[in-house]
Structure 1
Amino acid sequence: MLNTSTLDREAIGELPNPLGLQGIEFIEYSTSRPQALGQVLERLGFVPVARHRSREVLLYRQGDVNIIVNAHQGGLSGQAAPTEAPAIAAVALRVRDAAAAYRRVLELGAWAVPTQVEVMELNIPAIHGAGSSRLYFVDRWREFSIYDVDFIPIPGVNPQPPAEGGLHLFGVVQYIGLDRTDDWTAFYGELLGFAELPREQSFGVLTSGSILASPCGTFYWQLIEPEPDAADFEHDELLQRVGFGVDDVTASVASLRARGVEFVESTHGVRTTERGALTRPQMGSLVFELVHDPR
């Protein structure tokens, strides 16, 4: 993904920010094998800190990064039953006013996601994203959070486990259809205020596609089309992976390898460098990316 040494984050933060976007509150994965996914996350340094009150859903945390593992049949908002292979089902965006943000994007043409809220649960507004994923809007993320209502803390667990190696959310990689870059750039730009970076700016070890910067300057969205001559390529559109920023890629890779995490080396030109690293696929196509991004 990104090489932030070439990027002035403060300049990006000065972009128009109509929704008051302030980063990502959580990434949600759906899977029918939550324990297996949990083991993968724990090797990466995440800790299960809370359980949903009424659904088969766990909250994992490391530093400021929240990952929700959803194994509930029907999901948090009535989506299809989870499959064995983990999939990114949702990204929750921190905004100034969730209701106002939701109204604005609907007025601009976004598709609403019907919600199915149980007793004692928050109604979190959402719109359709890539494939079957959704984008949530969350404004309870400072003194109070959505987890105060919907989740029960796991006894004896530190609810704020520290980030290892400065790990933080860096961005999301989305696979899109052929010749769909302009469509998705307009989607994220017009609805959420993202801006496309110059093509010469590249991030990490995987530099394909177009990169969009969030108006708050805290994370990025990478759009990758299939190769035009890849006749057998599946052109499904989906959120493919999450990128984590770390202070020192080499040190983080060494630490994670000691915990059993394997990384791609010399596959199609991809290998660990000071710029970034890619974990080997697990549970199907589950991968994570590390990007050099000292904060």
Structure 2
Amino acid sequence: MNALTSGREIVPEASNPIGIAGIEFIEYATRQPQALGRVLEAMGFQAVARHRSREILLYRQGTMNLVVNAHADDARVSATEGGTPVISALAFRVRDAQQAHARCIELGAWEVASHARAMELHIPAIHGPGGSRFYFVDRWQEFSIYDVDFVPIQGANPAPPAIAGMHYFGMVQYVGAGRGLDWSVYYERMFGFEPISNEERFGIMPKGMLMRSPASSAGDSFLWQLVEPFAGVEDEELVNESLQRIGIGAPDVPGAVAALSARGVDFVDSTELHPEDRGALTRAALGSVAFELVHQSA
């Protein structure tokens, strides 16, 4: 139900029903972990830990955690075509992971079965678009999930600084034609996201419907962009529904572009699209890995 009903009044649900407090990690699935690692390192991420029982590496810079999943037994890895990396999961920081998961299941979400082994954490999850997953994490402050499931890489800095103040800004999701409204209702009902007015735009890729996650005292909100294919488009990549691109906020986009370009990152620069103060887009690496920089204070 969307409201609690009494004999006298209707009380709306809280604006942040599962206590979202930001993004804990984003996961790529790939059969080319070394090649993807080089792309991430150019973007400023550093490998800091390795999973205890699976072929999974944790990369980090500043407040951003990014997981590379190359475990052969994972269906999301084996489903990648030609080893092309895909965004396979996003973990929400929440107030109570079990409660958040239970609420989503009650609202019709599909549960993901746990594959945690002995002495490993069970992180509850539901299915997302295109075979991806949404995880719920409530251990992200003094004691984190990485303290249990990962082993630090010897000699690695556990807290590498962010280049040019970069931080997670949000996610771009491709949706099917005419499905934008369906997905916006899903995110609003399931997680408490709110649509943003068309007059409020960010970055240099303004197409699509924008939504903002609930704000909380423990973390900043982030954005979700739903992009439908152009009318008549038959390109399977544009028609399929998937988590497509990571948005990264930066207080100084030109400064971030200069720093990343010096590290070998290539940016789209054409008459239609080019780096500027409000945003920039990296050229896709390995056929699918692109990052969108958006002006936002840290």
TM-score (norm 2): 0.91
Aligned to 1:228: 231
Once the two structures are TM-superposed, the CA of residue 289 in structure 1 deviates from its matched residue by 0.6
Q: Confirm whether residue 274 of structure 1 aligns to residue 277 of structure 2.
A: yes
Instruction: State how far apart, in whole Å, the 2-side matches of 1:79 and 1:163 are.
Output: 29
The answer to whether residue 288 in structure 2 is matched with residue 285 in structure 1 is yes
Structure 2 residues without counterparts, runs of 5 or longer: 1-13
Q: What are the ranges of 5 or more consecutive residues in structure 1 without an aligned counterpart?
A: 1-14
In 2: Cα distance, 1:210 partner to 1:218 partner: 16
Supply the RMSD in Å over aligned alpha carbons: 1.3
Percent identical among aligned pairs is: 55
Q: Deviations over 1:150-172 (max 9, x none)?
A: 00001111101111111100000
1:58 equivalent to 2:57? Answer yes
Question: CA shift at 1:201, angstroms?
Answer: 1.1
- TM-score, length-scaled by structure 1: 0.92
Residue matched to 1:127: 126
Structure 1 residue 191, shift from structure 2 partner: 0.5
The count of corresponding residues between Structure 1 and Structure 2 is: 278
Give CA deviations for 1:258-288 in whole Å, capped at 9, x if unaligned. 1100000116x11111000000111012111
**Distance change >3 Å, CA 79–CA 261, structure 1 → 2:** closer
Which stretches of structure 1, 4 residues or longer, exceed 6 Å deviation after superposition? none
2:131 counterpart of 1:109:
no
Equivalent residue for 2:241, pick from 237, 244, 251: 237
**Residue in 1 aligned with 2:11?**
none
Give the Cα–Cα distance (whole angstroms) in 2 for the partners of residues 200 and 51 of structure 1.
43
Question: For each residue in 1:230-268, what CA deviation from the matched residue of structure 2 results, as whole angstroms up to 9, or x when unmatched?
Answer: 24454100000001001111011011111100000116x
Q: What's 2:251 paired with? A: 247
Whole-angstrom CA distance in 2 between matches of 1:231 and 1:241: 20
Query: Does residue 261 of structure 2 align to residue 257 of structure 1?
Result: yes
Question: Tell me, what secondary structure is at the counterpart of 2:99?
Answer: helix
CA–CA distance in structure 2, aligned partners of residues 71 and 109 of structure 1: 30
| Preserved CA contact (<8 Å) 2:163 2:259 | no
Q: CA deviation at 1:293?
A: 0.5
Pairs within 5 Å for 1:1-295:
16-75=15-74, 79=76, 81=78, 83=80, 84-216=83-215, 217-232=220-235, 234-266=238-270, 269-295=272-298
**Secondary structure of residue in 2 paired with 1:131:** helix
